[in-house]
């Protein structure tokens, strides 16, 4: 039991915008008692708590700079020592580069930990572009819809609240989605290679339903947290 207490599992979800990382992370939190840690949330919490690393981050952010990897890693190290992460964590938004992945490996090794699994949600680029570009929401309640995959039962009327006004994010268009995918692949390819070389990479098809993706994740995460 003490091993579990001092060495929470560390999981990384990789996938482009729209692949469903956020949805699946929330489900994994509920299913396994994991804690999702996003870089933004970590920084805000550390600043609010007034930790040394948080104060360093605050100074950088107030000057309009980018918070260094060293500060992010220091904040992550503090967070991993807190008692609510004993079951494990899902890292969201970090690492983003091979250099950050290596620094994370070193940090974890110093605490007797490691990345247990890095899971890549694999998608078809053109299908993803259609998925992102077709999204829109009810302006009143935020219920999500899609031009082809999920239209309201009554055209022009929200199924959930009966609203008749809808909105579409300015960046939910084919050109922006294509650019974001290209940037993701360029940025993430070294990470894929890094975790494959360490024998902890798993890939799953993320073009199915939310339930299908969750079912594919379940045995992988079960092994990682044992």
- Write down the catalytic residue from 44, 77, 96, 196: 96
Rounded to whole angstroms, the Cα distance separating 106 from 127 reads 37
Q: Is 31 labeled as catalytic in the residue annotation?
A: no
Q: Is 114 labeled as catalytic in the residue annotation?
A: no
- Write down the catalytic residue from 31, 114, 178, 180: 180
Looking at the chain, list the stretches that DSSP marks H as alpha helix, in order from N- to C-terminal side. 2-6, 21-32, 39-49, 52-62, 69-80, 98-110, 125-133, 174-197, 210-225
- Write down the catalytic residue from 31, 168, 178, 196: 168
Helix 21-32 crosses helix 210-225 at what angle (to 10 degrees)? 50
- Write down the catalytic residue from 58, 79, 131, 135: 135
Q: How many CB atoms lie within 10 A of CB 60?
A: 15
Q: Is 96 labeled as catalytic in the residue annotation?
A: yes
- Write down the catalytic residue from 21, 58, 79, 131: 21
Q: Is 135 labeled as catalytic in the residue annotation?
A: yes
Rounded to whole angstroms, the Cα distance separating 51 from 166 reads 43
Q: Is 26 labeled as catalytic in the residue annotation?
A: no
Per-residue tokens: 167:
């909105």
Query: Starting from the edge strand earliest in sequence, which strands make up the sheet with 166-167, in order?
Result: 144-146, 135-138, 166-167
- 166 bridge partner residues: 138
Q: Annotated catalytic sites, by residue?
A: 21, 96, 135, 168, 180
């Amino acid at each position: 039991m003490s091993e579990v207490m001092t060495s929470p599992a560390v999981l990384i979800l990789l996938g482009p915008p729209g692949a469903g990382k956020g949805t699946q992370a929330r489900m994994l939190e509920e299913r396994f008692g994991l804690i999702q840690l996003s870089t933004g949330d970590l920084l805000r919490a550390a600043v609010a708590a007034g930790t040394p690393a948080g104060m360093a981050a605050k100074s950088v952010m107030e000057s309009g700079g980018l918070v260094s990897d060293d500060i992010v890693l220091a904040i992550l190290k503090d967070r991993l020592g807190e008692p609510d992460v004993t079951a494990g964590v899902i890292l969201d938004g970090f690492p983003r580069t091979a250099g950050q992945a290596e620094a994370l490996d070193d940090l974890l090794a110093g605490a007797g930990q490691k990345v247990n699994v890095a899971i890549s949600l694999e998608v078809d680029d053109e299908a993803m572009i259609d998925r992102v570009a077709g999204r829109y929401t009810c302006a009143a309640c935020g219920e999500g819809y899609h031009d082809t995959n999920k239209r309201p039962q009554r055209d022009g009327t929200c199924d959930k609240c009966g609203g008749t006004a809808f909105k579409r994010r300015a960046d939910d268009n084919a050109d922006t989605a294509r650019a974001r995918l290209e940037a993701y692949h360029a940025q993430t390819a070294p990470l894929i290679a890094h975790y494959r070389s360490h024998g902890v990479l798993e890939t799953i098809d993320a073009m199915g339903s939310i339930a299908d993706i969750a079912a594919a994740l379940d045995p992988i995460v079960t092994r990682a947290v044992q």
